[in-house]
Structure formats: structure tokens, C-alpha cells
Amino acid sequence: MIAFVSGQVAALAPDAAVIEVGGVGLAVQCAPGTLAGLRLGTPARLATSLVVREDSLTLYGFADDDERQVFELLQTVSGVGPRLAQTMLAVHAPDALRAAVAAGDEKALTAVPGIGKKGAQRLLLELKDRLGAPVGTGAAPVPVAAGPAAWNEQLHAALLGLGYAAREADEAVAAVTPQAEAAAEPNVGALLRSALQSLNRTR
């Protein structure tokens, strides 16, 4: 089990980062909100979860240990793999998922791409009393530092990475532009959640 990686950010992609650890570049799959807090050439520490398959070893990275623990717990639900678990955390922070499960909120869960009504019901049934109550101690959103990629480019790439068409991504970016412009430092993770909510309303 690789609990975390710590090193310099060597490369960034819409769905992954490469962290240099001891002269080795480790590819870590990350949600857009986590990637938003990383910058090329700067040190980073990511909580990680290693997913082992017959034909692959995939390392998933998270902003903190709470996200990683929820990611691993989500995969204990039948039909939920690592990709879907990470998408759920891209849409809802750990405490938001706890609140949704505690309240039996199917609508919040179906806002996640890839989860329908039956999937939401299964999640509520299997996660009941297992996620716990919202703790309210999650890490504060990481503001996007100045860099070559603007918030709208990061958001657009994140939506494409989640499987949305370019037209849908364009519409979602437009929908959250007022929210982004009202913020001194737009937070891509928060904007992604708003964008996904707007896409869910139009379906």
C-alpha cells in the first residue's frame, strides 16, 4: 500500500499528475479539484490509493487522507470501480457525500455522471451507517494560483475527461462564468461541482 507520494510536480494533464519521487516519475490519477492545487516544478504531497488489476497498477491521488478513505469505501459498493469513485469525489466533497447518504438524497447522487436512480439507491443502501456523519473538518478549497492554464481551460478539460461532449462542456463553462468572475481567485473544484449541477439540470 502506497499511502502517499511527496515530491516535485514534473507534469500535469487533465486527469493526472506526474510526481518525481527519488528520481522516478509516478503517474497519479487525480480529480480536477486536486489537480487545481498543483503547479509544475513545485513540491506536492498527495494521499494515494493503489488499485491493482491483472494488467495494470494505477495510483490515485487525493488532497487529503479523508478523500482517500472515502474513495476506498465507495469501491466496496457493488458496481463502483475506482473511476466512478473518483468521479463521485470530483462532484461531491467527502462531507457532501456523507450528508447525501445520511439524508437519503438520491438526487445528489444521480448528479454524478454514470450514476442512475438504481445506482443511487444501491449506494444509499450499502453505504448507510458506513460513511459516518459529516465531520466538517475537510481541507479548505485550494485557490488556483496564477499559471498558464486559465480556470475555464482547466474546467473544460475536466468535463471532457469526465465524458461530456465539447458542446456540453462549453455550455457548462458558460453557466459558471458569473460565479468564477465574482471570485477573486476562482476555485476549479468548486466550479466543477457547479458545472456538473447545471448539466444535470438540463438533462
Beta bridge partner(s), residue 53:
56
Rounded CA gap, 44 and 63, in Å? 10
Q: If one looks up domain 4-62 in CATH, what number appears? A: 2.40.50.140
Rounded CA gap, 141 and 119, in Å? 28
Report angle CA 30, 35, 41 to the nearest 5 degrees: 115
Amino acid 56: pLDDT: 85
Among all chains, which residue has been given the C-alpha cell 506526474?
Answer: 18
Residue 142 reports pLDDT greater than 80 = no
Question: Could you tell me the pLDDT band of residue 203, with boundaries at 50, 70 and 90?
Answer: low
Domain 4-62 and domain 151-202, same fold? Reply is no
Give the tens place of pLDDT for each residue, 78-101. 999 999 999 898 888 899 899 999
Rounded CA gap, 59 and 157, in Å? 20
Pick the CATH number of 65-127 from 3.30.450.30, 1.20.1440.130, 3.40.50.300, 1.10.150.20: 1.10.150.20
Give the tens place of pLDDT for each residue, 56-82. 899 999 999 999 999 999 999 999 999
Residue 186 reports pLDDT greater than 80 = no
Over residues 120-126, mean pLDDT? 93
Residue 197 reports pLDDT greater than 70 = yes
Amino acid 15: pLDDT: 84
Topology of 151-202 in CATH?
Helicase, Ruva Protein; domain 3 (1.10.8)
